[in-house]
Structure 1
Amino acid sequence: MLTWLLRDLPPLNIFEGSQKGRGVVDLLMPQLIASLPEYQHELARVNRARGMQMLRDPSFTCDPALIWSKERAQWIVFSITSFRVLSNGLAIRRADREQLTRFIHDGKVDLHGLLESGKELIGVVAERSYGQQLDSLLQQVPPEQIRAHYGNDALGSLLQMQRLGRLQLLLGYWPEIRYQAEQQGIAPEDLEFYPIEGISQYQEIHVGCSDTPQGRQAIAKIDQALLKLREERLVELYAAWLDPGMRDQYRADARAYFQGLRDH
């Protein structure tokens, strides 16, 4: 039995609301499962911390939406890139903009300088990778400045903490934050989102399986399926979630990236 780990991660997986089941990975899953007809499949809804624990176990477990990291690669076997997403950034309440102005340059936030000032609390989802650059930056931050949430509705809980003024900064993907804010009754226009200085514009998403003989065998077949899906199907599924003015640039960047990769 191959267990697929799914997290509530709009716009990749969507568990609640009007777009339930219409996320990028939600729509990819039937095709991934069809590429592995020799296995029985089950879908398990987990939070990030529980999912990581299951991937560490010597089980037959896969996650369809992982960011590669050097640490994870010690116990997870990764697929080729399936698609790219706009990188994590910083969400703040519009009402808090004034006190952060000196850290915002050309529409991007100097997160290193902001956190080094030592005044602000930043909310993160526990055990989530935000990409190697941001993970490295967060490791330099005093633990008392970080609010890591472990729950099933971690981002929703962090948004409520931010709304109540219990933390100022929230790290995440803007489409996810915007969607979860609406689920929490928070108007997205009351939030502002800033890319982070020095961080790549895009992050690569991979399928990852427990590094076992079965997991490695599954990834070899998943790679073949992704080669057929990623340049057209997956690019369009993710582009549909972007603001209309960003879609053409995303499509062009994604296709140029994948054509440069060829078969990996």
Structure 2
Amino acid sequence: MPQLIASLPEYQHELVRVNRARGMQMLRDPSFTCDPALIWNKERAQWVAFSITSFRVLSNGLAIRRADREQIAHFIHDGKVDLHGLLDSGKELIGVVAERSYGQQLDNLLQQVAPQQIRAHYGNDALGSLLQMQRLGRLQLLLGYWPEIRYQAVQQGMDPQDLEFYPVEGTSKYQEIHVGCSDTPQGRKAITRINQALLKLREERLVELYAAWLDPGMRDEYRADARAYFQDLKDH
């Protein structure tokens, strides 16, 4: 965010921290609002102006308490979880951040789940609250990004070693992140400038910023994959 702001000196920037649901409402309003980290999906594309890909992240997956592993072992295959089958069993509650997109594949899956199985949290510290609910046994499953879940667990005074994380079968390894602005003349004009800035920032600075959140053993693979992805965009 600081790098992108510095690249757009012609704008006066006001940073506002809100929960995901409020952030989406601000983008829907006829105002001049931008969000630096959005996943594209068909619904949002109807009322959000999206930038080019700013960076890629490891996809959302499933976090559980290590102590609960045996309860879902039947649904784990080759290190990935059959989330559709697990939720279809109708036994487990899953926690999500309200109005967050988890990528088109997971969003579609969640739409098929019985509403009573989903615990959607609207708070400003939604993920932290969901982790506490999981710790207390009030929900078993939690969707999210593993680096974010680990960080929030520490903030909540929890040991990340007590959690396990599984990619979801049928989802891509990475998800593309975009800047999104209100789909207004001002917002669309800003996206044009943001795209120019991202072309200079994304391959080096933004890749390194995200890599720093990963386990050291994962960073080189992520860097190589990210740079290959952006090089492929140039070649086509």
Query: Smaller-chain TM-score range?
Result: over 0.9
Corresponding residue for 2:90? 118
Scaled by the length of structure 2, what TM-score is found? 0.98
Q: Do residues 182 (structure 1) and 157 (structure 2) align?
A: no
| Cα distance per residue 1:19-52 (max 9 Å; x no partner) | xxxxxxxxxx233223322221111010000000
Please list every run of 5 or more consecutive structure 2 residues that lacks an aligned counterpart in the other structure. none
In structure 2, C-alpha distance between the alignment counterparts of 1:33 and 1:169, rounded to whole Å: 36
Instruction: Give the counterpart letter for 1:100 in structure 2.
Output: I
**Which deviates the most, 124-133 or 244-253?**
244-253
In structure 2, C-alpha distance between the alignment counterparts of 1:259 and 1:198, rounded to whole Å: 25
Instruction: Give the counterpart letter for 1:110 in structure 2.
Output: D
Offset, 1:263: 8.8
Corresponding residue for 1:107? 79
In structure 2, C-alpha distance between the alignment counterparts of 1:31 and 1:246, rounded to whole Å: 24
| Cα distance per residue 1:139-196 (max 9 Å; x no partner) | 0000000000001111111111101101000000000100101111111011110111
Instruction: Please tell me whether the aligned partners of residues 160 and 184 of structure 1 are also in contact (alpha carbons under 8 angstroms).
Output: yes
- Of residues 120, 128, 137, the one that matches 1:165 is 137
Aligned-pair Cα RMSD in Å: 1.1
Instruction: Please tell me whether the aligned partners of residues 108 and 194 of structure 1 are also in contact (alpha carbons under 8 angstroms).
Output: yes
Corresponding residue for 2:30? 58
In structure 2, C-alpha distance between the alignment counterparts of 1:95 and 1:229, rounded to whole Å: 42
**Which deviates the most, 34-43 or 209-218?**
34-43
Corresponding residue for 2:198? 226
Q: Do residues 203 (structure 1) and 152 (structure 2) align?
A: no
In structure 2, C-alpha distance between the alignment counterparts of 1:160 and 1:33, rounded to whole Å: 34
- Of residues 152, 165, 171, the one that matches 2:124 is 152
Offset, 1:262: 1.8
Corresponding residue for 1:258? 230
In structure 2, C-alpha distance between the alignment counterparts of 1:67 and 1:31, rounded to whole Å: 20
Instruction: Give the counterpart letter for 2:68 in structure 1.
Output: D
Q: Do residues 31 (structure 1) and 27 (structure 2) align?
A: no
In structure 2, C-alpha distance between the alignment counterparts of 1:41 and 1:255, rounded to whole Å: 30
Among the aligned pairs, what percent are the same residue? Answer: 89
Instruction: Please tell me whether the aligned partners of residues 35 and 221 of structure 1 are also in contact (alpha carbons under 8 angstroms).
Output: no
In structure 2, C-alpha distance between the alignment counterparts of 1:31 and 1:235, rounded to whole Å: 12
| Cα distance per residue 1:40-71 (max 9 Å; x no partner) | 11110100000000000010000000000110
Offset, 1:243: 1.1
Q: Aligned residue pairs: how many?
A: 236
Corresponding residue for 2:70? 98
Structure 1 residues 231 and 181: CA distance shift in structure 2, 3 A: same
In structure 2, C-alpha distance between the alignment counterparts of 1:174 and 1:251, rounded to whole Å: 17
